């Protein structure tokens, strides 16, 4: 049995962190679903930017530009077309799991990160435009994004909370989700609005590897992940979660993101086999998925109590690493990088529209 199937049987969902029109046209995504146990998909501006740069979207861009579409409007038309197709391929999974799995994700403009009202409006409109029940709208879990997460959940919009790095950031996002669910219960509405909390992993090790002893290299992300998983299990067992579940609410699933290994000397499946755990998701790019399918191993599950994560974090503290400060910087830098990627994507859309029309 392949490692991808073993991971699925352990109770973890494997999602693909990529989407291109070529992948859809060639049947590659369908093959990943059928042969690699892939049950969901995530996307971001950088992924679409690279895909559009291949030229596969030229005809579509030319046609939409001729119809007067520009910038964000043109991009969202392209992205929604792709994500609808992916959502349809994953719809059997979504139906079979009663909405637990089988999701795809679309991001609101990161330029709205500091505007709660506009983010909520954009999330609602994008979900309506996608016109599929298994589409998450991605909203950053920054302090400014938390009110938008609560408002969107209260409005019945499924949310993929992104840009989380630490246990504290995760808990804040999970509580925002729970507040949104509670508001639906109070209003007599269906509280079963799905959500995932996406925690970014590999960037932790990239941030500190050049300033810690060799024995600590490539160990921080997994230690942080152990603490986050403990917080996740504690939250699932909390009185608040049990009370919401008693009224029909659901648990916001934990998702491991940024799981491709950046250090060539580390195992290429480091953030897959180290973060195996039931009722979680691991979204990974093609190369990591292919590597895990080829030679990955499933040797056990993350301990619910966090295992030796605290001891490892203490070793990093002794080495001069302020984990809280690193978490704050990673989230701040990540938000800035999302805005920069968005700007590059909009620039590419605009330049290609002009060239193709000419």
Active-site residue list: 138
What is each CA distance from 242 to 145, 185, 237, 246, in whole angstroms?
A: 25, 14, 7, 6
- Which residue, 17, 1, 12, is CA-closest to 202? 17
- Which residue, 100, 249, 119, is CA-closest to 181? 249
**Phi then psi dihedrals of residue 242, to 5 deg:** -65, -40
**Phi then psi dihedrals of residue 140, to 5 deg:** -65, 140
Residues in the chain: 358
Number of Cβ within 10 Å of residue 317's Cβ equals 11
Contact 126, 77 (CB under 8 A): no
């Amino acid at each position: 049995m392949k490692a991808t199937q073993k991971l699925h049987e352990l109770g973890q969902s494997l999602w693909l962190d990529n989407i291109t029109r070529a992948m859809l046209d060639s049947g590659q995504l369908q093959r990943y679903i059928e042969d690699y146990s892939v049950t969901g998909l995530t996307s971001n501006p950088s992924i679409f930017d690279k895909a559009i740069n291949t030229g596969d979207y030229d005809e579509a861009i030319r046609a939409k530009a001729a119809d007067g579409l520009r910038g964000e409007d043109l991009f969202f038309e392209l992205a929604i077309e792709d994500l609808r197709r992916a959502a349809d391929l994953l719809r059997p999974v979504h139906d079979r799991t009663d909405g637990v799995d089988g999701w795809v994700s679309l991001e609101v403009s990161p330029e709205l990160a500091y505007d709660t009202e506009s983010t909520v409006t954009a999330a609602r409109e994008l979900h309506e435009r996608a016109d599929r029940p298994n589409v998450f709208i991605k909203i950053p879990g920054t302090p400014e994004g938390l009110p938008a997460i609560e408002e969107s959940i209260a409005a019945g919009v499924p949310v993929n909370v992104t840009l989380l790095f630490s246990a504290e950031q995760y808990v804040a996002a999970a509580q925002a989700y729970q507040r949104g669910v509670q508001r639906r219960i109070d209003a007599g509405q269906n509280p079963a609005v799905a959500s995932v909390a996406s925690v970014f992993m590999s960037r932790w090790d990239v941030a500190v590897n050049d300033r810690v002893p060799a024995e600590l290299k490539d160990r921080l992300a997994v230690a942080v992940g152990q603490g986050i998983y403990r917080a996740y299990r504690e939250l699932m067992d909390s009185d608040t979660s049990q009370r919401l579940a008693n009224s029909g609410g659901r648990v916001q699933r934990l998702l491991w993101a940024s799981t491709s290994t950046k250090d060539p000397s580390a195992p290429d499946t480091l953030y897959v086999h180290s973060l195996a755990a039931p009722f979680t998701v691991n979204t990974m790019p093609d190369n990591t998925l292919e590597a895990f399918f080829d030679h990955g191993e499933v040797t056990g599950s993350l301990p619910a109590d966090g295992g030796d994560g605290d001891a490892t974090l203490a070793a990093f503290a002794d080495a001069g690493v302020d984990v809280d400060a690193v978490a704050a910087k990673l989230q701040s830098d990540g938000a800035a990088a999302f805005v920069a990627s968005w700007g590059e994507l909009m620039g590419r859309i605009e330049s290609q529209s002009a060239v193709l029309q000419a």
